[in-house]
Structure 1
Amino acid sequence: MKKALVVFSGGQDSTTCLFWALKNFDVVETVTFDYNQRHNKEIDVAKAIASDLGVENTVIDMSLLNQLTSNALTRSDIEIKEGGEGELPSTFVDGRNHLFLSFAAIMAKAKGIKNIITGVCETDFSGYPDCRDVFIKSLNVTLNLSMDYQFVIHTPLMWIDKKETWALADKLGAFEYVREKTLTCYNGIIGDGCGECPACKLRKEGLRKHLEEQKGGAANV
């Protein structure tokens, strides 16, 4: 029996990964991290989606991360800004994916799970260094060595852009679900979001391109 653990935030990417996991594995669980992120609604959405899809969800307290680093996702007084001139966006959280995947691996081994799934992507990754394929492969080796356990970190979205992520959700029969139920917006608005924050702009543009391709012409989103 093939089992998998999805690192799950309730956003577009991780929810698409969850549907992908449900198609490719016999038993699927999810793990969500509470790091005092800008909107606790993210945790509520993750719990709700996991419950709706009938998969177990575990929330792990990672508030220590909030104490160690300052950024727009953990501090309401820091403005959300896109990166420029070689700088990372203000939403980059140092060490987040490193810690999330490491803790997910500890949990997975305790449950006899070897497959870990994450929605990181090098195509639309805003320059985040911990979304790169080289980092994931390096960490995979490190986790295997550190616990003497053969983990496989799956990254279904690594080489596709947001348009193709929407297309994947469509292929999995989850397009409307992902569009209506997920939370990507930095301002905490479920579904299509505020339309103005960097996360919403990226999601919206990908959606527009996907719908345009499906209809063979211009699409309004």
Structure 2
Amino acid sequence: MLKDEKAIVVFSGGQDSTTCLFWALKTFKEVEVVTFNYNQRHKNEIECAKAIAQEVNVRHHLLDMQLLNQLAPSALTRNDIDIKDGGDGEQLSTFVPGRNLIFLSFAAVLASQVNAKHMITGVSETDFSGYPDCRDAFIKSLNVTINLSMDQEFVIHTPLMWLDKEETWKLADELDVLDYVREKTLTCYEGVIGDGCGECPACKLRKNGLEKYLASQKGVKK
């Protein structure tokens, strides 16, 4: 029974990882979260993650991964790279090569140290924005690799893998945290908590999903 087991949530303080945190809290007996400092564009992300972890009363681990900033130039790791959608088959400027590979590998090492068998990440192949390390095949492959490398039986859970943003808001609502996720999380590439700047790709995706979900609920809830 999962209710008797412990889990680690890869946690950025954004919409997806916060929804996953509340999913984990209802699924597992004990939950801890891990946030990675890779010298990302906005330190607000780390502070937001800290604040949510404190409010929800879960143990928060912050790991220094600043080498990733040096190795993987991206709009999320460099202030001099513009945030923009990919064009003509090009990768989005916000893609950080190797990020989920590295984060989940280190999350597994941490999980081993705190006796957690389960890891949760908020990746989605439905709304993956073209990031190859958000695909189901990658996660399944990495799960096997991590288990072989450490000779343990970790399970990587991806509650949002087949959900679009509208469905992710629906899940938050089902978990009774829609307003909390909307007001407290940071998804915006410009570092604005809550509804964000409204202009960056992350904000547009989040806003469109929310508007679709709220529209679908008109006349449903009384």
- TM-score range relative to shorter protein: over 0.9
Residue 187 in structure 1 maps to residue 190 in structure 2 = yes
1:110 to partner: Cα distance: 1.0
**Alignment counterpart, residue 66 of structure 1, candidates 63, 66, 69:** 69
Corresponding residue number in structure 2 for 1:164: 167
How far, CA to CA, are the matches of 1:81 and 1:197 in structure 2? Answer: 8
Amino acid at match of 2:196: G
Deviation above 3 Å: which 4+ runs of structure 1?
none
**Alignment counterpart, residue 13 of structure 1, candidates 11, 16, 19:** 16
> Which stretch of structure 1 is more off in the superposition, 22-31 or 83-92?
83-92
Residue 80 in structure 1 maps to residue 83 in structure 2 = yes
1:46 to partner: Cα distance: 0.1
1:102 to partner: Cα distance: 0.1
Amino acid at match of 1:213: S
Corresponding residue number in structure 1 for 2:26: 23
Corresponding residue number in structure 2 for 1:155: 158
Question: CA offsets per residue over residues 43-89 of structure 1, 9 Å max, x none?
Answer: 00000000000100000000000010111000000000111221110
How far, CA to CA, are the matches of 2:203 and 2:114 in structure 1? Answer: 35
How far, CA to CA, are the matches of 2:196 and 2:173 in structure 1? Answer: 19
Question: CA offsets per residue over residues 13-50 of structure 1, 9 Å max, x none?
Answer: 00000000000000000000000000001000000000
Residue 135 in structure 1 maps to residue 138 in structure 2 = yes
Residue 96 in structure 1 maps to residue 99 in structure 2 = yes
Amino acid at match of 1:159: W
Amino acid at match of 2:81: I
1:105 to partner: Cα distance: 0.1
Q: Is the 8 A contact 1:88 1:126 kept in 2?
A: no
Three-state SS of the structure 2 residue aligned to 1:33 is strand
How far, CA to CA, are the matches of 2:32 and 2:204 in structure 1? Answer: 30
Amino acid at match of 1:72: A
Corresponding residue number in structure 1 for 2:36: 33
Corresponding residue number in structure 1 for 2:209: 206
Three-state SS of the structure 1 residue aligned to 2:160 is coil
Q: Is the 8 A contact 1:121 1:160 kept in 2?
A: yes
* Percent identical: 71
Amino acid at match of 1:180: E
Corresponding residue number in structure 1 for 2:59: 56
Give the unaligned 5+ runs of structure 1.
none
**Alignment counterpart, residue 178 of structure 1, candidates 181, 190, 207:** 181
1:216 to partner: Cα distance: 5.0
